Each structure stands twice: as C-alpha cells, then as structure tokens.
Structure 1
C-alpha cells in the first residue's frame, strides 16, 4: 500500500507525476530539487503550482515516504540517489524513472539497496506529458513485482520485465537509438531538402519507401520535439551511447545523434514559442537559421 510519495527532481516529469498522484488519492507528497535553492527556478514554480512546499533536503523529503520517485536529468541520476541515501532506512520503494544506461541503473541500485531502500528499475517507454502516471513503464529488479502489487491502486501502466536490473532499461535505450535517430535524420534530411527546394519530392519518395499515412506531419513532429526538449534528449542519447558501448558495440551513430539534439536545443531557444506549436513544416524549416 502506498500512502505517501517523495519526488526527487521537480521538472516537467516530476510535476506531472505529482499532479496525477494527487488525483489518484495520494495526500502526502513531498519534493526536493537542487533548483529549489533558487525561488525563481522552474522547479520552484512547479512546486508552487502543485501546492507543494519544497523540502530543505533530499533526506528530509524521503523520510517516511512509502515511495520515492527519482525523476532528474540523466546526468544527475546517481547523484540524486546519493543525496537521498540518508533517508532510506525505512525501506521505501525507490522508483528510478531516469533515462540512463543499464550500468548506471545497476550502480544506482547498489547505492540504494545498501542504504536500505527497495530499488525498482523503471524504463519509461513513451513521452510522459500525454498520459502522465499512465505512461507505459517496464519494471526491473528483485522488488519490481512487489512494487507492481503495491502500486495497483494508482492506476499506473506497469509491466514487470525482468528480475535482473538493467534489462528493462536496455529495451528503452536501444529503442532510443531508433527514435532519437529518426529525429536527427529527419531534421538533417528535411532541412537540406527545403533549402534545395526538393522537400516535396523527398517526402513523396519516403512515403513510397517507408509507408506512413502523413510523412509531412510526422516530419514536422519529430523535428519539433528536439527543438523543444533537445537538452534532455541529448543527455539521454549520451546514456544511450554508453548503453551501446557497455556490450562492446561502438556507438558510431548514437554519439553524433546527441550532438544533433544539442544543436536542436540551441536553435529551439531562438525560435518563437508559438512557431514551435504550429503545424506547417515548411514554415518551421524556414525559421531555422543556417549554421554559422
């Protein structure tokens, strides 16, 4: 039974989960984020909007919680777990939803388990904003089944994938080579095609080669995602490269995909927000400045 939840990391994902957990009947929700030190930060604004008083420290936030959710950036996942170690003595479930390599998951699990927490690997298999708490998640580790049963009243879309930590994340990260790779390839292909004036012919050819009912809409969507979320996606792709390398495969493509995601993030910061919400592919491509 889960009656109280602590969320480490209160960015977009953390704040969405807090909202849905409250709607699911969780009355006690605590939160901690390194950005809470700045009252003007996005994390602080998210906490205020959710009606949650920021905890002064990670151990304070997790004390007494039945479930601790770690929802930070990929590069901060292990640090986030270490920050909370002092408050895990009561053996809460620790759900690690961060997009990191299997090796990083195992390293985090070792730290959490040694501190008394019940680590649960979570591989989030789709973007969180559309479905929130009901986003499909693959679970891994020796405590995955117990967590699945305890979380049943919350209405989450959970599947126990493996009792071995790392395998669930391997599914997600190997999938990301294709998903984030499609974003990078489409951006490069359509941007160049637009500047040559041949994008219509390229789209028609793609429809014949890789059947899809609306390649124009698909291209617009996959190009816009990294323009909005490129920084986070770049961090994930660097973990994807690490994932690939951990099994002796050189990440020849995964590492450059991260660079393209970083590029998109930098471009996205310069574009009007309303433009990113529009559906016209040509207008979006025309707004992207030439590389210097």
Structure 2
C-alpha cells in the first residue's frame, strides 16, 4: 500500500480462510504474516504447517507468539470457538493492535468478544464474510462493524481486501450475514433433502420438471448437485454457523427452531457423505 508503513498480519486458525487470505495479502505487499493453529505440532496439523511454509508464513508455537507485534490479528477459527479465542487473546493483545473477527458468529457472540478484546486496550473489528472465500479470495465481500471499521477498511482494502463498513456498533454486520444465511443454508438443506427423497422414490424427473415449470430460470439438476456438494464439503462449518443464527433469533425473542433444524440437516449431510466415503 503506497504511502504508509507496511502492515504485519497474524492469523489464529490457518484453515481455508487463513491460507487464502495469507497468500493474497503477501502477494499484495503485506510486510509479513505469521500464523498459529491449534493443530500445529500434531500429525493432523502437518498439512497446515506445510501450507504455511510454502506460502512463506511464519509459524508461532502459541497464538501469543504468532501475534506479537502484528498490526492486525485475524481470528479465523470455528464459530463455536470464536468467543473463547477472543477471550484468550485479550490476555496478550496490546493497544494499537486490531483484532479482526471473521468467524460466522451470532451478533451477541461478537458483542461479548468485542468487550473482551477492548478490555485489553486493543481494538475489535467485527467482520462478516458474505460468501465462501476460495474462489474470490481476498476480494470476498466482508461487512465490517465497530468504531475502527472505517479506518481498518481503508488500510486492509489497500492490500486488496473488500471490506464495507456498515456500522460503528457491534452486531449489525453479523446480523446481516446470519439473516441471509437462514435463506442460503436453508435452501441447501431443503434441496438436498428433496433430491434424496426423490431418488428414494424414483421421482426425480417429474419433481424437477414440476419445479422447473414454477421456477423456469433454475436448472434443478445442477442446483441439487451444487448444493449437495456444498453441504458435503462445508456442512460441519455451516451447521455451526446456523446454530449461531439460532442464537441470534433466540436473543431477539424469536423462534430459533427452523435455524436449529437447518443446522441439524447441514450436519447430517456432511456426516452422511463422510460415512459414504
């Protein structure tokens, strides 16, 4: 980024999001990147360590070590770990650092995480990632929230990111994401169950023809295949996200049952695929 000091960035969690962002940020001029993952140092974590080494990302033995001195600390873990990681980070974060929470968590979860991080003197950036990151990479749309949203977006967008500040208050960005997720993840679960039931009764062609007559712009054979693949590949993560959506609904005094059922369906779809494999 011309005209400013190159940033250093750290990642807590080095799965698909961390690896994709790290690769593109390094290509766009970030001075250095370090990472820590709970799996580092274990046999399952060997693949993550090798990926970091290929990318030129430094490894930290602990999260605190990996993130020491980093301008931005990205938390890219699982939704059920988001609040705990923020709480742990609060013990070693320093003033001047910005904790970027890209996890798909409920607005109330993000609000609690923000309070923990801000107690350390560091800043908290709510970041709601609006699509899978693999294809768009660093250009994936991200909604940003919090008092530092404008300033952080200006810096990170200078490195090729695509952050849009939506609120200075914590929770709004995540609410926008999770309300959308109720539809997207719900449609996936419905389509997978529909296709499975059709196959069981050998009625795929007439049912899909009927659906196409109602929604002529949709290729239901392709949609069913695409959504089955999404659930099979990402169902566990999507299930965790939908449980956060259920928490969001419950916190607003709304019925969370549908979101919880979608979470169960996403989990079931991923588990069925794993069993079949």
How does the TM-score come out when normalised to structure 2?
Answer: 0.93
C-alpha deviation, 1:82, in angstroms: 2.4
Distance of 2:147 and 2:223 partners within structure 1: 39
Structure 1: which 5+ residue stretches go unaligned?
Answer: 273-292
Deviation string 1:5-28 (CA, Å, 9 cap, x unpaired) is 001100111111111111111131
State whether residues 109 and 119 of structure 1, in contact with CA within 8 Å, keep that contact through their aligned partners in structure 2.
yes
Distance of 2:220 and 2:74 partners within structure 1: 37
Distance of 1:261 and 1:151 partners within structure 2: 32
Tell me what 1:66 maps to.
71
State whether residues 11 and 46 of structure 1, in contact with CA within 8 Å, keep that contact through their aligned partners in structure 2.
no
Tell me what 1:278 maps to.
none
1:36 aligns with 2:40: yes
Matched residue SS, 2:217: coil
Task: State which drifts further: 49-58 or 27-36.
Answer: 49-58
Distance of 1:199 and 1:40 partners within structure 2: 40
1:47 aligns with 2:59: no
Distance of 1:151 and 1:13 partners within structure 2: 15
Deviation string 1:19-61 (CA, Å, 9 cap, x unpaired) is 1111111131011111113154243343233232320111111
State whether residues 58 and 83 of structure 1, in contact with CA within 8 Å, keep that contact through their aligned partners in structure 2.
no
1:257 aligns with 2:265: no
Q: 1:76 aligns with which of 74, 81, 90?
A: 81
Please give the residue correspondences for 1:99-114 in structure 2 after superposition, counting only pairs within 5 Å: 99-114=104-119
Tell me what 1:178 maps to.
183
Tell me what 2:155 maps to.
150
Distance 1:62 1:145, change over 3 A: same
Tell me what 1:237 maps to.
242
State whether residues 20 and 132 of structure 1, in contact with CA within 8 Å, keep that contact through their aligned partners in structure 2.
yes
Matched residue SS, 2:94: coil
Distance of 2:48 and 2:87 partners within structure 1: 20
Structure 2: which 5+ residue stretches go unaligned?
Answer: none
State whether residues 95 and 122 of structure 1, in contact with CA within 8 Å, keep that contact through their aligned partners in structure 2.
yes
C-alpha deviation, 1:212, in angstroms: 2.6
C-alpha deviation, 1:3, in angstroms: 1.4
Matched residue SS, 2:134: helix
C-alpha deviation, 1:137, in angstroms: 0.5
Tell me what 1:283 maps to.
none
Tell me what 1:285 maps to.
none
Deviation string 1:127-186 (CA, Å, 9 cap, x unpaired) is 110111110011111110111122232121111111111001001001111111111111
1:267 aligns with 2:269: no
State whether residues 124 and 138 of structure 1, in contact with CA within 8 Å, keep that contact through their aligned partners in structure 2.
yes
Spell out structure 1 runs of 4+ moving beyond 6 A.
Answer: none
State whether residues 129 and 143 of structure 2, in contact with CA within 8 Å, keep that contact through their aligned partners in structure 1.
yes
State whether residues 25 and 160 of structure 2, in contact with CA within 8 Å, keep that contact through their aligned partners in structure 1.
no
How does the TM-score come out when normalised to structure 1?
Answer: 0.89
State whether residues 60 and 87 of structure 1, in contact with CA within 8 Å, keep that contact through their aligned partners in structure 2.
no
How many aligned positions are there? 272
